[in-house]
Structure 1
């Protein structure tokens, strides 16, 4: 209870509002991701009002993944030109328009195209929102706030599976079209990131923004600290291009850490576990309806992520959670591999009928306590202001590519061997390798400011005492005053 009150302090209220109203846009992303679960079987049915082949259905399913990279590139261009807030708001009308379009679509290719556009918006949002939330957050609750993005995505997927079980495409799409509008109204009331204002030299605007976000008028000390951070990053690196992500040692280290977390996330087997939930339930002899099984699966994940973000992440730190999460996922999918290996050998599995469901639920819980939001929190913290937009754009594209590859690996492995044992064993090994790399290279960022994290990556925690820092402080003081 003491921890709960510590998180929900009054001074954090506007940070909560800004974060939740921003993350509300990710609901549409989760809806788009989970849309095929309730509706693709209906489109593929012989009596479908929109005749669809399996090939057309597969393109419809992956359309959001194909759309994400262009959206990420657009956001990377806009976010430093017009700001984090305006870039986010610019996306809302497009999503609303697309859902209305889906409601009135008469062909599968119209639906596919509109889902691709929503996927582009998703790529843009996953580029700009981690940046915005990371920059407005107090270090004490930054882990909690950045994790709300994962909560929103899971909530959207759960929402579309629930309403999709009893509403047709027309009605559900019109309902979904209202969500971006609600987001747009709420998010228009929040301030722009103080980091963006300082980057543009608008110190008074930055101070007003910080006063609103912190709920107090005395913010000069934090203003000076943020300004020093931005000035150091901008003046040290100059105008950053894509090459600075790999040529500057601290950025290269940040990229390496993200690649570790991303590969562990994707190669833990999350997508196949989600796609084959129905099959695994059937293997266990479950009589639960397939749609209900997906709803239960998403609900378990939502509860696990919510409990973790509220009670755990800012208390124990993200590094420990990532290690625990990856190790738990490795054990869970290894258990699935063992079950299918026993079944493939023709051994009676009636006495362990509960094993697939138990392992799947445990996997979902373990994934939710760390890997589910690990990538977002890493992206929001590790990259300096001058390259953050390009880093998030590149990261989103890399993440989508890895997600597609791992899904293809599962399909090819299953088709070639006729067994799920081998791909799940592969995912278990990959997860355990991820644990080793996270232990070796992942720093703990709990309670640190964004500038302190940069100093940690640079390997110069004494930077504030150097002559360079003193010159920068004098420059900032002169500019600010």
Structure 2
């Protein structure tokens, strides 16, 4: 496979090491995202004796991380350019470790919400810095697979916490999870900083050393000069204001594309499905054990994401995300119809208990093929260095708000109407997103960051005089 052949190329060694070591931090985020899947049902049904809560309170526990996301996004935008990409990621490790340890000893709903709020602040910081860092250190030929590994690691974290939830208590699983940020810190601390950051800080010699390490060769002067010219030109243009995201045409187009991708991703139902995976399968019924269904579901999800890691740089981003969106629309529509019949015409689905797991597995296969991984790849590609942190933080905030909306919408619609309605709503939203993706989202395969920016300028009708 293409991925395997890259591993043996010495020139990519440090790029892969940086990706692997940084991905431990995102593993923690995946654990936090899916934590409610195994443990919220235990709290609601009284299995966990220390905390009592209603279904509505449980939904607020689920939305605590996205509720905290705007706070983290603002902090992250300042940190990545202030102390660097690498140091920002490293700072999150001890905080995440402390929160997991606190989670092990949480005995009240208030403390549980505070812990998940704090961990929720960490998520947008890492989702801002890591796509930026990996996009800046990567060779164009493998940039897609490196950035997509961020989302892939999150999926592995989701599976990990569901497996732990199957066998262990909140106390034990939290202490196990606390070791992951420690591993992240002890390994990532040896990786080089982004040469883009060094050049922005007028540290050209440090940038040269970082490039030599990342490229595995001393023949980096041409690339270093290109980076210096681009970043120094951005400095001269003095485009450091938040409003440049909206006043500069190419930035505005890039932001619009990024928002479309993220809104489509969230309103395809991804957040509720991760937070309420076990609840969905409990409602669906069927002959397969609920916990086993969740684990099978997530294993297939990870397998499909591994395929996506290869095809994003082979087939291109655009055809993959269009195929992904189309398949998700069909899967959401079929699943919604199943739950509708279960509520109103149960005799029609007497022998179809296997259908929800099958169709939702198909959904997750195609969701991970494009909708899950492609937006985070575009996150590292669409924006010039001088506005990238602001753009990612802004979209992280929008994504968090969309996450809150979809989670509460799922809970409210399910409690008041039935499980079928949120699936139909998500299918409709995904259809609208597909139309916008076909019309506006460009192909960025094998293009340098500078070439992508030039294309956005051309498509937006921006000239140098506009800057």
Task: Work out whether residues 297 and 357 of structure 2, in 8 Å CA contact, stay in contact via their aligned partners in 1.
Answer: no
| Partner residue in 2 for 1:186 | 187
Further displaced range: 21-30 or 247-256 = 21-30
Task: Work out whether residues 277 and 293 of structure 1, in 8 Å CA contact, stay in contact via their aligned partners in 2.
Answer: no
| 1:420-435 correspondence runs (5 A) | 420-435=419-434
| Partner residue in 2 for 1:413 | 413
What is the TM-score with the length of structure 2 in the denominator?
Answer: 0.93
SS across alignment from 1:24: helix
Task: Work out whether residues 62 and 407 of structure 2, in 8 Å CA contact, stay in contact via their aligned partners in 1.
Answer: no
Alpha carbons of structure 1 residues 362 and 242: separation in structure 2 relative to 1, 3 Å: same
Task: Work out whether residues 158 and 295 of structure 1, in 8 Å CA contact, stay in contact via their aligned partners in 2.
Answer: yes
Alpha carbons of structure 1 residues 94 and 282: separation in structure 2 relative to 1, 3 Å: closer
- State the Cα distance separating 1:207 from its structure 2 match: 0.8
| Partner residue in 1 for 2:219 | 218
CA distance in 1, matches of 2:32, 2:422: 27
SS across alignment from 2:372: helix
Alpha carbons of structure 1 residues 44 and 321: separation in structure 2 relative to 1, 3 Å: same
| Partner residue in 2 for 1:381 | 381
Correspondence 1:370 to 2:370: yes
| Partner residue in 1 for 2:312 | 313
| Partner residue in 2 for 1:175 | 176
Task: Work out whether residues 37 and 277 of structure 2, in 8 Å CA contact, stay in contact via their aligned partners in 1.
Answer: no
Alpha carbons of structure 1 residues 413 and 46: separation in structure 2 relative to 1, 3 Å: closer
| Partner residue in 2 for 1:360 | 360
| Partner residue in 2 for 1:93 | 94
- State the Cα distance separating 1:6 from its structure 2 match: 4.5
SS across alignment from 2:381: helix
**Unmatched 5+ stretches in structure 1:** 469-481
| Partner residue in 2 for 1:233 | 234
Alpha carbons of structure 1 residues 428 and 217: separation in structure 2 relative to 1, 3 Å: same
| 1:5-404 correspondence runs (5 A) | 5-6=5-6, 8-46=8-46, 48-54=48-54, 55-236=56-237, 238-278=238-278, 280-282=280-282, 285-309=285-309, 311-346=310-345, 347-404=347-404
- State the Cα distance separating 1:419 from its structure 2 match: 3.4
SS across alignment from 1:100: helix
Correspondence 1:452 to 2:451: yes
CA distance in 2, matches of 1:352, 1:287: 10
Alpha carbons of structure 1 residues 342 and 175: separation in structure 2 relative to 1, 3 Å: closer
Deviation by residue 1:151-187 (Cα, 9 ceiling, x = unmatched): 1111111111112222222222121111111100111
What is the TM-score with the length of structure 1 in the denominator?
Answer: 0.90
Further displaced range: 344-353 or 384-393 = 344-353
CA distance in 2, matches of 1:3, 1:49: 46
CA distance in 1, matches of 2:275, 2:25: 24
SS across alignment from 2:177: helix
Alpha carbons of structure 1 residues 76 and 162: separation in structure 2 relative to 1, 3 Å: same
Deviation by residue 1:252-297 (Cα, 9 ceiling, x = unmatched): 0001101111121111122333455445545654222222222121
Alpha carbons of structure 1 residues 239 and 3: separation in structure 2 relative to 1, 3 Å: closer
Alpha carbons of structure 1 residues 53 and 165: separation in structure 2 relative to 1, 3 Å: same
Aligned length: 463
CA distance in 1, matches of 2:76, 2:220: 30
Further displaced range: 134-143 or 113-122 = 113-122
Task: Work out whether residues 287 and 354 of structure 2, in 8 Å CA contact, stay in contact via their aligned partners in 1.
Answer: no
Alpha carbons of structure 1 residues 72 and 291: separation in structure 2 relative to 1, 3 Å: same
Further displaced range: 20-29 or 226-235 = 226-235
